Structure 1
Amino acid sequence: MVQQLPLGNTGLKVSALALGCLNFGSRTNKETSYRLLDQYQDAGGTFLDTSNNYAFWNDGCVGGESELLLGQWMKERGNRARMFVGTKVGAQPTFPGGGFENKEGLGRKAIEQAIDASLLRLGTDYVDLYYAHVDDADIPLEETLETMDGLVRAGKVRALGCSNHSVSRIQAAQKISSDHNWTSYSCIQQRHTYLHSNPGADFGPQISADEELLRYCESHEDLSFLAHSPLLNGAYTRQDVSIPEQYEGPGVQARMRILNEVAVETEGTLNQVVLAWLLQNTPTTISLIAASSSDQLRENLGSLDIRLSQEQLERLNRA
């Protein structure tokens, strides 16, 4: 059964493993998407993560496909009230065929238009968590935060989050929200896994979590930490998937050796140990798990049964 964790200081609780729905309704067809959603729900999971721009880069897609499928699934299952739905604004191209360089951004008009379009696709009158998807240096933080707070006051959004933001921008945003008594960000979602990304590694519009962000989240209970891409698209276990070059470096072999040792000791898979380490380490990390098959999802959910000892955690951290 998927355990529940607090989301910042909102009073809301979310599943310790969120189901990433990026390819649902596009690369992952309707039948498979429904099967995975049903399986996740049957395991006690409630936290669905999507975005208004998922997945415009897939063949034949313009963005919104994932939200649309989730809306259809929740309507057919009659389970909207049981699900905790998070979606995002800021990175959807403003015209079909556009790329991230043509993103809508985080201005007032863009946010207000985007939330209504997302609600329509999701078939609901509110989302549980609304993220500022990528930082927008061209728009004053005050404008973004005031607009997002307005969505909370209007009942369209229950909690706010951000992703792909630096620590300095998060700190600035939290101070502005506090000074104006606006709803503040309750979580940050960033790329993060067991292997360390190289300093300055380029992930395009994404930002990888660094030590500064992890320490910030550790010392600020009002900001939960969420990790996307924790399993590096299968690179830990699949022979046909290489470790991304952004993670290649002198420390990889040492960390992989310890990871393999702990996997043997716990009788878990490498993927399960990575997810268990993220959850049981500091700061506590809510991972987004993505799956394209029932077996993958079953393996990921099985990470919740792995109990790492303090000694194992220390070995994993020291490697």
Structure 2
Amino acid sequence: MNTTHKGQIALGAMYFGTRQDRDESFAILDRFVELGGRWLDTADNYSFWESETGRGGASERMLGEWFAANPGIREQVWVSTKLGAEPLVAGKWPESMEGLSPAAIEAALGGSLDRLGTDHVELLWAHVEDRTVPLEDQVAAMGATVADGRVRQLGASNHALWRLERARATASATGVEPYSAIQLRHTYLQPIPFAELPDGGHVVATPDALDYARTEDLAFWAYNTLLAGSYARPDRPLQAPYLHADTERRLAALDRVATSTGATRNQVVLAWLMGGSPAVTPIVGVSSVAQLEEVMAARELTLDADALAVLNSVS
């Protein structure tokens, strides 16, 4: 599969069916397609922490309802979903995560397809690492989902780089579909190296990871790209690992470019990500159609050499 990633914004559907009800979710999805959006990003464990049941599935189920209510719309979008991090016992996470055994992968993908009401997804991610299962078994099981037509492309999310490389080498040696996409936490602001993030399981992109994706021609996806609203909203303060002098310099540079281009901070960040090397597919969740329209307008923002020099000269 060679689905286009470059220049795309993936709509994060994390809170569809929990924080956002059917009407809100459908309105955002409808407008996303009207604006030319293609990628929808979800996971089998979204959003268990918001659900009364303590289990995920609400997001995929909401997307499935939207597909059913709009015949033909499934062919207009690409679906990205993830498996491996769903709690099998409510209230016991991460110790009860489903993991990446062949049986877990088979059960999770089957559940996702049922909730989505589709026979395939364009991109399937191993959501987190599972070091309790031999990597060879994981690679074989993930590859089998492509061989049987239920998945078009595979990705590794929140994986150490050496594990990703070993998995790709194993896939090559055994003749199965390799991971061809990588997903990490990445945005314009950078946390203090080695600082512990309050978000469990998040793996921050490093220069090595960006170089690896660029060199190996992997699709690079980024989450938490707008820092949960911290670029735009004073009531959403930055997390402690981002409170340092480099952040102050970067925000000043961001404001200079936003002023010179007439764009918002969010739009500049997204344009910087999409226009970088490697080009990043940012996953962005929104809570309203107005927020969606702001985000999608970032696709039309071209950062010239002067703007990039301002943004990239900060150290």
Bin the TM-score by the shorter chain.
over 0.9
- The corresponding residue for 1:92 is 86
Residue 158 in structure 1 maps to residue 158 in structure 2? no
DSSP-derived class of the 2:153 partner: strand
* 1:249 corresponding residue in structure 2: 244
Q: Which amino acid aligns with 1:71?
A: G
Of 42, 48, 62, the residue aligned with 1:56 is 48
Asked if residue 27 in structure 1 is aligned to residue 23 in structure 2, the reply is no
Question: One-letter code of the match for 1:49?
Answer: D
Separation of aligned partners in 1, 2:271 and 2:84 = 31
Amino acid at match of 2:33: Q
Retained in 2: the 8 A contact 1:100–1:205?
no
Please show how residues 125-140 of structure 1 align to structure 2 within 5 Å: 125-140=119-134
Partner in structure 1 of residue 77 of structure 2: 83
1:74 paired residue number: 67
Deviations 1:232-263 (A, max 9, x none): 01101101010111222220111110100000
| Structure 2 partner of 1:206 | 202
CA–CA distance in structure 1, aligned partners of residues 243 and 130 of structure 2 = 29
Structure 1 SS opposite 2:95: helix
Q: What CA distance in whole angstroms lies between the structure 1 residues aligned with 2:219 and 2:149?
A: 22
Q: 1:101, CA displacement in angstroms? A: 2.2
Number of the residue aligned with 1:5 = none
Contact 2:8/2:38, CA 8 A, preserved across alignment? no
Q: In structure 2, what is the Cα distance between the partners aligned to 1:102 and 1:299?
A: 38
Any idea what the Cα deviations from partners look like across 1:24-69, whole Å, max 9, x if unmatched? 0111111100000001010111110000000000141410000000
Measured on the aligned residues, the alpha-carbon RMSD in Å equals 1.1
Q: Is the 8 A contact 1:281 1:313 kept in 2?
A: no
| Residue 107 (1) aligns with residue 98 (2) | no
Q: Name the amino acid aligned to 2:60.
A: E
Match of residue 217 from structure 1: 213
Aligned pairs, how many? 309
Question: 1:140 offset after TM fit, Å?
Answer: 1.1
**2: CA distance between counterparts of 1:53 and 1:59?**
10
Cα deviation, 1:128-170, whole Å, max 9, x if unaligned, reads 1110000111111110110011111111111111100111111
Distance in 1 between residues matched to 2:132 and 2:245, nearest whole Å: 38
TM-score after normalising by structure 1: 0.94
Matched, 1:278 2:273: yes
What is the CA–CA distance in structure 2 between the aligned matches of 1:96 and 1:84, rounded to whole Å? 30
Select the residue among 206, 227, 237 that pairs with 1:232: 227
Contact in 1 for aligned 2:159/2:203 (Cα 8 Å)? yes
Q: Does 1:309 align with 2:299?
A: no
Find the aligned partners of 1:124 and 1:305 in 2 and give their Cα distance. Answer: 32
1:189 to 179, 183, 194: 183
How far did 1:96 drift? 2.4
Alpha-carbon distance in 1 for matches of 2:4, 2:271: 19
C-alpha offsets along residues 160-207 of structure 1, whole Å, 9 cap, x if unaligned? Answer: 111001111111111111111110112111111000122113232110
CA contact (8 A) 2:15 2:59 kept: yes
Aligned to 1:173: 167
* Contact 1:91 1:100 (8 Å CA) reproduced: yes
* Equivalent in the alignment of 2:288: 293
Letter in 1 for 2:304: S
Task: Write the distance in 2 (CA, Å) between the matches of 1:224 and 1:248.
Answer: 30
SS at match of 2:15: coil
Letter in 1 for 2:259: V
Q: TM-score, normalised by structure 2?
A: 0.96
Match of 1:45 among 37, 48, 51: 37
SS of the aligned residue for 2:86 comes to coil
- Structure 1 vs Structure 2: percent identity of aligned residues? 39
Please give the alpha-carbon distance, in whole angstroms, between the structure 2 residues aligned to 1:111 and 1:202.
Answer: 29
Cα distance in 1 between the residues matched to 2:242 and 2:210: 18
